[in-house]
Chains A and B, each alone.
Chain A
Amino acid sequence: MAASEVTAATAAVAPTARRRPSRLRRIRRYLLPAMGAVLLVILILSALVAPWMAPYDPFEMNVVDRLLPPNEAYWFGTDAYGRDIFSRTLYGGRVSLVVGASVALASTAIGLLIGVIAGYFRMADAILMRIMDGLMAIPGILLAIGLMSLTRASIWVVIVAITIPEVPRVVRLVRSVVLSVREQVYIQAATAIGTRFPRLMVRHILPSTFAPLIVQATYIAASAVLLESYLSFLGVGTPPEIPSWGNIIAEGRLYVQIAFWNILFPSIFLALMVLSINVLGDGLRDMLDPRLARRL
């Protein structure tokens, strides 16, 4: 009873605590995630409006203007073929966004389905989880190399290659939530009032998975953006003719000593994108469920 009384007393003052947190806490709680969100929105917008905003065609070569440093005409300079790096970087954001969003969506959707089955049906659990363990043991980069050698390089292969190793992580998360929720007394209560399985799932079990899933999805998106760049850089990702950030950096790396801007600007965009998604994810985690902070 001591504990409950203390909790009650602390809770009584907690509303005031919530209204006026210390400055540092306020920054951590609201300002950083908000900045992350704003930055992310800017990056997304810049990628979306690339066709209208880019001053040059990203594929247009201009041999006269090879490896020019940043200037008034070419804000980020040009590469070895005289292509405008600013335009290419804007277009490169579209690849990263498509990959990040697709991987996040695909892996959470697949992971949710498998995780729910594994968490709810004990029979399926053992088999599914061993398969997941197997998938988790495959390094994403090796998988991508393998897939590339089997098929033609395309952005969709990249997405599949990154999604597969992410799925088990989502499955584990969903499974652990489902396992703990299904033991809750309110699930027994729902069963006792004659709730059938589909409704039990949709109304009582699934809602608990949403908050951790949203948070997990942001982390997956960030790591997918990064992985796409690794793969492209290694030459096993997005086809080299498409200007993704990884491809731009890979090409620019040859001239880094004479034209560092070739890799500087796409790298900055890549870093900002990953940073903004992660900061936003942390903020969402703290807002949606403070207890999650310890689980993820």
Chain B
Amino acid sequence: MAQEPVLAVESLRVEFATGDAPPVVAVSDMSFEVHRGETLCIVGESGCGKSLTALSILRLLPRPYGRIGAGRVLLDGRDLTTVSEAEIRAVRGRAISMIFQEPMTSLNPVLTVGRQIAETVMVHEGLSWQDCMDRALEMLRQVRIPEPERRLHEYPHQLSGGMRQRVMIAMALACRPRVLLADEPTTALDVTIQAQILDLIRDLQQETGAAVVLITHDLGVVAEMAQRVLVMYAGSKVEEGSVEEIFDAPSHPYTRGLMAAMPHLGGGRGKRLNEIPGVVPALDARPPGCAFAPRCMQAVARCHAEAPPLVQIGGTHTVACWAHGQGARA
């Protein structure tokens, strides 16, 4: 891709700190780029830091503990980590917007959905109230909510889970953002509703050309949606590549383990699943060296002592594993 990325994250470190104790590093040395119209999936298990990465892009880390320890977040080349509070507020919801897993807690229960969408537009674009409500109606139509005129005046609790997620998407896209951060947008939904929402995100992306960062634990969702994939484990990127590269040649033992552990339709009926032994290490008890080493079948002495760097093993395919290190197999 020759053109400039819309969003670039460079060597981001997210840490949690209190008082004079040394900070706990939740995400370290995270870098990625997303281009216009592209979908990047960040995949990993709970506690791997994928949600914190997304929150730190918009500087929404929980106060007072969380903070960006190092790195840059570039939106069209402008570093969002150094702009003023007012400027970042202008970015939120307008240039970059975010949707969450549980739409009910992200919507205000005492305001009608139309009003909530219209207020987002009002804040960012300063149109008249009537224009804002018109835009809200148009957005509800765009996210294919049946009877949008009626729904406009309803409250979140009157809508089903799938419908609420559509409202969230309508609100997120109301100001035509350049980047959409979607944090597990379908995890709380049933599989038929998930299919509807994924289709919707894909269609709207084509219409608006937004870059999408989709955070998920579900490799099936990744296979459906991604152009590029970034696999995280214990706060670090362990593998990144195009969706074909990752699915055709998963190279990090963790990626391979995840794929083998996921039961999928038509695969290995009645046989044992490949399991990854052990559990994800706690945030403040991450091992030295490669964080995955204690659970890795191929780990050698070096893995426990020294963290492997990211190395390029194919066109756009990078992996952080000593098995692919300089001279190892490359």
Contact = CB atoms under 8 A, between A and B. Distances in A.
Interface of A: 1-6, 8-10, 12-13, 15-17, 20
Interface string B50-66: 11101100000110011
Contact of A8 (B23, B61, B283): B283
Nearest to B283: A12
B22 to A, nearest CB: 9
Contacts of B23: 13
18 contacts: A1-B184, A1-B217, A2-B54, A2-B55, A3-B101, A3-B105, A4-B47, A6-B61, A8-B47, A8-B283, A9-B16, A9-B24, A10-B16, A12-B283, A13-B17, A16-B19, A17-B18, A20-B20
A17 to B, nearest CB: 5
Contacts of A13: 16-18, 21, 23-24, 65, 284
Given A6-B61, A13-B284, 18 more contacts: A1-B50, A1-B215, A2-B54, A2-B101, A4-B46, A5-B46, A5-B52, A6-B52, A9-B283, A10-B16, A10-B62, A10-B65, A12-B26, A12-B284, A13-B16, A13-B17, A13-B18, A20-B18
Contacts of A3: 101-102, 105
Contact of B62 (A6, A15, A16): A6
B187 interface: yes
Contacts of B24: 9, 12-13
A8 B283 CA distance: 8
A8 B62 CA distance: 12
B51 A5 contact: yes
B50 A20 contact: no
B223 interface: no
A5 B280 CA distance: 13
A5 B101 contact: no
Interface in B203-255: 215, 217
Given A1-B101, A4-B46, A9-B16, A16 B55 contact: no
A9 B235 CA distance: 11
What is the interface residue range for chain B against chain A? 20 to 34
A10 B55 CA distance: 14
B300 interface: no
Given A9-B24, A10-B65, A2 B16 contact: no
Contacts of A12: 16, 24, 26, 282-284
A1 B51 contact: yes
A20 B54 CA distance: 30
Interface in B97-155: 100-102, 105
Contacts of A4: 46-47
Nearest to A8: B47
A6 B101 CA distance: 13
Contacts of B38: none
Contact of B66 (A1, A6, A20): A6
A58 B49 CA distance: 71
A6 to B, nearest CB: 5
A4 B105 CA distance: 13
Interface string B1-21: 000000000000000111111
A10 to B, nearest CB: 6
Nearest to B106: A2
Contacts of A2: 51, 54-55, 100-101, 183-184
A7 to B, nearest CB: 9
B1 to A, nearest CB: 29
B3 to A, nearest CB: 30
A195 to B, nearest CB: 30
Most B C-beta atoms less than 10 A away, residue of A3, A5, A6, A8: A5
A72 B213 CA distance: 83
Contacts of B17: 13
A10 B66 CA distance: 8
B78 to A, nearest CB: 25
Contacts of B282: 12
Contact of B55 (A6, A8, A20): A6
Given A1-B51, A2-B100, A8 B66 contact: no
A179 B184 CA distance: 33
Interface string B273-287: 000000000111000
A244 to B, nearest CB: 50
Contact of A20 (B21, B51, B187, B284): B21
B21 A16 contact: yes
Contacts of B283: 8-9, 12
Contacts of B101: 1-3
A8 B46 contact: yes
Contact of A16 (B18, B52, B66): B18
A281 B115 CA distance: 45
A47 to B, nearest CB: 43
Contacts of B18: 13, 16-17, 20
- Minimum-distance CB pairs A-B, first 7: A12-B283, A2-B51, A16-B21, A5-B51, A13-B16, A1-B184, A12-B284
Contacts of A5: 46-47, 49-52
A13 B217 CA distance: 24
Contacts of A1: 46, 50-51, 101, 183-184, 187, 215, 217
B53 to A, nearest CB: 10
Contacts of B65: 9-10, 13, 17
Contacts of B19: 16-17, 20
